[in-house]
Amino acid sequence: MKSISNILGEAKIKILRLFIFNPTASFTPKQVSNRAKENSATTNKELRLMEKGGLIKRRAKGYSLDTTYPYLPALEDFLVDVTPITFQEIAKRVYRLGHIRLLLAAGLFLHDRDARLDLLVVGDRISQAKLRSVVASIEAELGKELRYAVFETPDFQYRMSIYDKLIKDIFESHHEKIINKLGIQ
């Protein structure tokens, strides 16, 4: 992301991601500023530029993506391809939360909008408060709320043994094992 941020600007990338990955949502400038973790002056400048360029429209309740923007699919693919956070960075952040046994990436990270989850975390003594904080920081960088699930190791193993639908769906869809101390194939 650093090279893309240097070219386009970090604020612009974060705000683009926010609108493109939340196509049906409407955001006030304050919400955009909070979600992108940018100051209001920078946010307002970027919103004006994006509105002038036709990417977003001003609505009664804020701004929303113009889904008829002609370059939207290409822009979305580009933003997914230049994900600002690597799997190694995700692993580094999540690993500190407890004894992590399995970490899977799917969905948003792999261009799969239909996936049920973006992240699956399995481990022991996982701090839920710290996990929420880590997820929030990743969401700010990506510009989209993550769909994630967290399981203690025994609960996950039980769910695997009974062929739980969520677990089955995750493993049958495209995913990437970032940490795999459970030896799952």
Give pLDDT tens digits for 28-73. 999 999 988 899 999 999 999 999 999 999 998 899 999 999 999 8
From the number of C-beta atoms within 10 Å of its C-beta (0-12, 13-18, 19+), residue 177 rates as: middle
Q: Which fold has domain 2-81?
A: Arc Repressor Mutant, subunit A (1.10.10)
Q: Phi first, then psi: what are they for 17, rounded to 5°?
A: -60, -45
Please report the pLDDT score of residue 121 as a whole number.
97
pLDDT at 6 over 80: no
Please report the pLDDT score of residue 80 as a whole number.
74
Choose among 164, 103, 144, 108: nearest CA to 13.
144
Q: For the chain, what is the mean pLDDT?
A: 90
All residues at 6 or more sequence positions from 117 whose CB lies less than 8 Å from its CB, including other chains:
104, 106, 107, 147, 148, 149, 166, 170
Q: For residue 168, how many other CB atoms are within 10 A of its CB?
A: 13
Choose among 153, 151, 156, 150: nearest CA to 135.
150
Helix axis angle for 72-81 and 10-20, nearest 10°, is 120
Which regions of the chain carry the CATH code 1.10.10.10? Answer: 2-81
Q: For residue 79, how many other CB atoms are within 10 A of its CB?
A: 19
Choose among 80, 13, 86: nearest CA to 49.
13
Alpha helices (runs of H) in 85-173, residue ranges in sequence order: 87-95, 128-142, 153-161, 165-172
How far apart, in whole angstroms, are the C-alpha atoms of residue 52 and residue 46? 10
The partner residues of 177 in beta bridges, in order of sequence, read: 104
Choose among 94, 121, 97: nearest CA to 175.
121
Query: What would the pLDDT profile of 101-132 be if each residue is shown by its tens digit?
Result: 999 999 988 888 788 999 999 999 999 999 99
Please report the pLDDT score of residue 141 as a whole number.
79
